[in-house]
Homo-oligomer: A and B are copies of this chain.
């Protein structure tokens, strides 16, 4: 039985799920009504847990309650009658409406013997908790400790991974204040398209990271060219085009695993065109990865709707016309059409990412109400329908403000 528990819990590396699995196993094995695993947070000197069958996290100082008592003394507590015991705090029952009768609580120690948490079980179905229960809980506790530490390690490494990706993305932005936020916005537009297209979780993750890193190769492009106010010469333009190939070779040095191994290729192919005249590889339609085709659309959209060194934000209907004009040569029609299905409130939120506080909630609600509209037709007065007119004027009020005040 313990072996089954060991085997079950060793399979779960996600901390939340792991804790739930452990609690369920313990309730089952000890034949009791509740089990809570409290985890000790040494940095904040607090104990925390997800409340059983709820998603809410509870936190309290590490010396409080039965769990705090176990942390402090390091001893097992077996209480046959909660209300007759001084250490029990009846206030929690009062708040939750639960009636605690019997309690068994045991420390959870890691391989170094340090206490990393507490197991607390409530209300044995028949009678009270026995010495055998204490031993069983102790054994499960030992098995769980390592796995919980492993899961914490794993979650922490996931966070570290994400923080590296963010650092790389903001590194590009740091070189040119005017394109700051570009990688972030590309990622957000791509996520909207992914939602419209019902991409899988895995594809979304590959797309997200590829979007954040698509311009990384610009690190090897000379800054004087990157931030040049005048028109670029042919040589300079060639130099800038190299950034796609650089993106590939730099990202290939990162030890991506699983589906993320595609990131260097996807990220570096955002300037490929379906007619084969793009770069760096000059791939044609079916050779271009789907996710790169998505990046191609959102990259152009963000470029045109942003102020650049040499021009202001382009009027919205011209942006949409430019995307449409690229269908069949630059873009795959599928993704331009999917882009048109992104709702205006979503689009506006990303466009004005750095001025979110200026967006009125009522305006966003208005923009959300309407299903997809024909951007191109609709954005050229005379407005086809009265209701669309209101919608578009609201959107334009924000968009044009940016347009009229370049550099804000």
Interface string of A188-232 (1 = CB under 8 A from B): 000000000000000000000000000000011011100000000
Specify which of A6, A159, A257 lies most central, judged by the most chain B CB atoms within 10 Å of its CB: A6
Does A254 lie within 8 Å of B3, measured CB to CB?
no
B219 touches A147 (CB 8 A): no
- How many identical chains are in the complex? 2
Q: How would you classify the secondary structure of chain A's contact residues: helix, strand, loop or mixed?
A: helix
Q: Are B223 and A255 in contact (CB-based, < 8 A)?
A: no
Shortest beta-carbon distance, A268 to chain B, in Å? Answer: 15
Bound-complex Cα distance A6 to B162 (A):
32
CA distance in complex: A303, B167 (Å): 27
Give the complex CA separation of A267 and B250 in angstroms: 23
Given contacts A171-B219, A250-B167, contact A3 B255 (CB under 8 A): no
Q: How many residues of A contact B (CB 8 A)?
A: 42
Q: Given contacts A164-B164, A167-B168, is CB(A11)–CB(B156) below 8 Å?
A: no
| A139 cross-chain contacts in B, Cβ below 8 A | 3
Question: Which B residues lie within 8 Å of A168 (CB)?
Answer: 164, 167-168, 171
Q: A7 on the interface (CB 8 Å rule)? A: yes
Chain B nearest CB: distance from A116 CB in Å? 13
- Contact of A163 with B253 at beta-carbon distance under 8 Å, contacts A143-B7, A168-B168, A224-B223 already known: yes
Q: Is the CB of A257 within 8 A of B143?
A: no
Residues in B with CB closer than 8 Å to A147 are 10
Cβ of A365 to closest chain B Cβ, rounded Å:
34
User: Interface digits, A1-26 against B, CB 8 Å rule (1 contact, 0 not)?
Assistant: 01100110011010000000000000
30 inter-chain pairs at a CB distance below 8 angstroms, sorted by A residue, are A3-B3, A3-B143, A6-B6, A6-B10, A7-B142, A7-B143, A10-B146, A10-B147, A13-B150, A13-B153, A157-B161, A160-B254, A160-B255, A160-B257, A163-B253, A163-B254, A164-B164, A164-B168, A166-B253, A167-B250, A167-B254, A170-B250, A171-B250, A174-B219, A174-B250, A175-B219, A222-B223, A223-B223, A223-B224, A224-B224
